[in-house]
Amino acid sequence: QVQLVESGGGLVQPGGSLRLSCAASGNIFSINSINTMGWYRQAPGKQRELVVSITSGGTTNYADSVKGRFTISRDNAKNLVYLQMNSLKPDDTAVYYCNGRDYYRDYWGQGTQVTVSS
């Protein structure tokens, strides 16, 4: 019904920046039913954790570890969500996943690798 596709990951030096994008496609009525979207990440050997979420009304919820460095934005008209990542640290290295949910179900992207290393 809905597909989420992430892009924008890659290799960056400590202190650098990246912008991740998430595009939603599929049934237009299912897409319109999604009220909350967010970004999760999973590092090797660790559990998947919430990075930030945003509601259709613009309310955001950031993990303490990324506050002041990461910014989420949502373009409802174009079905796009972005994650601007600044001042990146080596411990930000992980696979980043886009997530969307309505009242009944969750949708997940395939993930995009972010590696922060000198």
Q: What is the pLDDT of residues 23-58, one digit of tens each?
A: 999 988 888 898 899 999 999 999 999 999 999 889
For position 78, what pLDDT does the model report?
85
Cα separation, 24 vs 113, whole angstroms: 19
Strand partners, 112: 96
In b/e form, how buried is each residue of 50-70, taking b as 16+ CB within 10 angstroms? ebbbbeeeeeeebeeebeeeb
For residue 65, the 8-state DSSP code is G
| 69-108 confidence digits (pLDDT tens) | 999 998 878 889 999 999 999 999 999 999 999 989 999 9
For position 77, what pLDDT does the model report?
83
Which helix (H) or strand (E) covers residue 98, if one does?
A: strand 94-101
